[in-house]
């Protein structure tokens, strides 16, 4: 089995033995900054959609594409991004991806019309797919023992917090209207952050790559792209476009593409080649059962964040800042729980995921009661108990799930493993926006916002219940 080389860049030097972790605190901070950017940008647009529609006369279908274009290219290319990092070096791909993310963010912020914005968002998603897999792969390859556990906990905290912070930051930037930039600020703010990140990454992120990297699996890459596109594209665009014929054709093609992808990958694995997604990876119990939790958790999370942004702004008439600030208790509670998670896991094992699911369910149930009782007089104080408890429960779950999924993946497959996990998460987030978002908007048009929000939250409760049940099958300990 091949080994992973860890070569710290000048002036950062690893000390001690060659097996000692080479990722220092500044390097970890830089990687987490890179992890935060793509997730923030997936959600930051939610609160900016009304002003984008007003300024660019986009219309519902193009507004859906502003979100979906980013999510589709991001999800489709993540596994390939992980493989390229294994081949050409993870720090190099991290730097290239971050630079491209900054340039595409600038293109989004300067877009003169809606179609240009959609194209720039697709390119931005592709840049994110180059950058993000290198974060987990570098952590997996350049840390060990307690330092890896701490780094994975911080990654999970960053991922969850970024999803909530995206909408908070988006609301503040749109309302601030810096130099008359309006919605454009949600993209332009990335540019100085990227410049800082590039300087820090060049100085502090260690060089890691697979000693014997496998070539790109072209058939697998193409079939995975077809499978994800034929599933996600019609679900995200179908409602806004009126469910034309192409959406049904795409959905019919999806299972055929998925089966073809599995067979091609299995054949390559049996022939001794290295497929894009090695089926043998799913022989790892921790990865298989961890990914099973990522799906319902992320579907519910993605749908909730989209639906709550629409409900607060269009249903309750809150401004961009007020709707963002309504989620601050969720962000604070999530961060606090994720910091406490590593200590709790040592004592209680993966049962902490089950406890987190129960707390999240209680929080969502409180939100359902609040909506049913107080609508339309629902404000920050009424929402706070429910969103805070839901955020605390999510914070107990997500970092542990991420750590569990990657716990048994060997270092030479770190890029592939991280790509598979993040692809699963990103696809599920997009599915959540598409399915729960479409359900909410359809019900809002016929039965009103109150009824639509209630039903959607109850569906999310079902997702949380499934997560709780699946968590009972997890290995009791996490390495």
What does the DSSP assignment read for 374-427? HTTS--HHHHHHHHHHHHHHHHHHHHHHHHHHHTT--GGGHHHHHHHHHHHHHH
What local confidence, expressed as pLDDT, does residue 322 receive? 79
- CA 407-408-412 angle, 5° bins: 105
Cα–Cα dist 154/324, whole Å: 23
Element (H, E) at 371: helix 351-374
pTM score, whole prediction: 0.78
Mean pLDDT of 402-414: 74
pLDDT at position 281: 77
The answer to whether the beta carbons of residues 166 and 41 sit under 8 Å apart is: yes
Q: Which long-range contacts (CB under 8 A, 24 or more apart) does 409-412 make?
A: 409/140, 409/281, 409/284, 409/287, 410/1, 411/3, 411/4, 411/140, 411/141, 412/1, 412/2, 412/3, 412/4, 412/86, 412/210, 412/211, 412/212
Q: What is the pLDDT of residues 351-366, one digit of tens each?
A: 888 999 999 999 999 9
Q: Is the pLDDT of residue 206 over 60?
A: yes
Q: Is 272 left (phi over 0), alpha (psi -120 to 50) or beta?
A: left
Q: CA-based Rg of the chain, rounded to a whole angstrom?
A: 21
Q: What is the pLDDT of residues 149-167, one digit of tens each?
A: 788 778 877 877 787 777 7
SS3 136: helix
Please report the pLDDT score of residue 195 as a whole number.
Answer: 95
Backbone angles phi and psi of 349, in degrees to 5: 70, -155
């Amino acid at each position: 089995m091949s080994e992973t080389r860890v070569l710290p860049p000048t002036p950062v030097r690893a000390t001690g033995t060659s097996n000692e972790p080479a990722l220092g605190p500044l390097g970890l901070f830089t990687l987490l900054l890179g992890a935060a950017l793509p997730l923030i940008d997936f959600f930051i647009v939610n609160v900016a959609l009304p002003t984008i529609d007003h300024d660019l006369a986009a219309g519902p279908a193009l507004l859906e594409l502003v979100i979906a274009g980013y999510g589709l290219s991001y999800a489709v290319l993540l596994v390939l991004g992980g493989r390229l990092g294994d081949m050409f070096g993870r720090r190099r791909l991290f730097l290239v991806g971050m630079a491209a993310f900054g340039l595409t963010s600038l293109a989004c912020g300067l877009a003169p019309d809606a179609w240009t914005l959609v194209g720039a968002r697709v390119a931005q998603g592709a840049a994110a797919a180059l950058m993000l897999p290198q974060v987990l792969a570098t952590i997996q390859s350049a840390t060990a023992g307690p330092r890896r556990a701490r780094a994975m906990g911080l990654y999970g905290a960053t991922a969850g917090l970024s999803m909530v912070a995206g909408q908070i930051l988006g609301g503040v930037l749109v309302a601030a209207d810096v130099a008359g930039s309006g919605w454009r600020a949600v993209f332009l703010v990335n540019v100085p952050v990227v410049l800082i990140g590039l300087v820090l990454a060049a100085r502090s992120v260690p060089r890691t790559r697979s000693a014997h990297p496998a070539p790109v699996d072209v058939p697998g890459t193409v079939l995975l792209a077809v499978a994800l596109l034929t599933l996600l594209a019609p679900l995200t665009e179908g409602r806004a476009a009126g469910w034309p014929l192409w959406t049904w054709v795409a959905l019919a093609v999806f299972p055929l593409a998925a089966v073809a992808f599995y067979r091609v990958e299995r054949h390559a694995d049996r022939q001794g080649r290295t497929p894009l997604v090695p089926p043998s990876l799913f022989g790892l119990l921790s990865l298989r059962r961890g990914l099973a939790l990522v799906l319902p958790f992320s579907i519910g999370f993605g749908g909730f964040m989209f639906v709550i942004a629409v409900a607060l702004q269009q249903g309750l008439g809150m401004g961009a800042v007020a709707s963002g600030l309504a989620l601050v208790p969720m962000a604070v509670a999530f961060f606090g729980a994720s910091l406490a998670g590593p200590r709790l896991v040592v004592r209680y094992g993966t049962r902490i995921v089950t406890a987190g699911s129960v707390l999240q369910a209680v929080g969502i149930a409180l939100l359902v009661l609040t909506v049913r009782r107080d609508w339309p007089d629902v404000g920050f104080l009424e929402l706070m108990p429910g969103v805070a408890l839901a955020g605390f429960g999510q914070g107990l779950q997500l970092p542990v799930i991420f750590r569990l999924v990657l716990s048994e993946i060997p270092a030479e497959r770190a890029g592939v493993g991280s790509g598979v996990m993040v692809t699963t998460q990103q696809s599920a987030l997009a599915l959540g926006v598409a399915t729960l978002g479409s359900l909410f908007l359809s019900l809002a048009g016929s039965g009103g916002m109150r009824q639509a929000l209630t039903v959607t939250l109850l569906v999310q409760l079902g997702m949380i219940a499934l997560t709780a049940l699946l968590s009972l099958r997890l290995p009791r300990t996490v390495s």
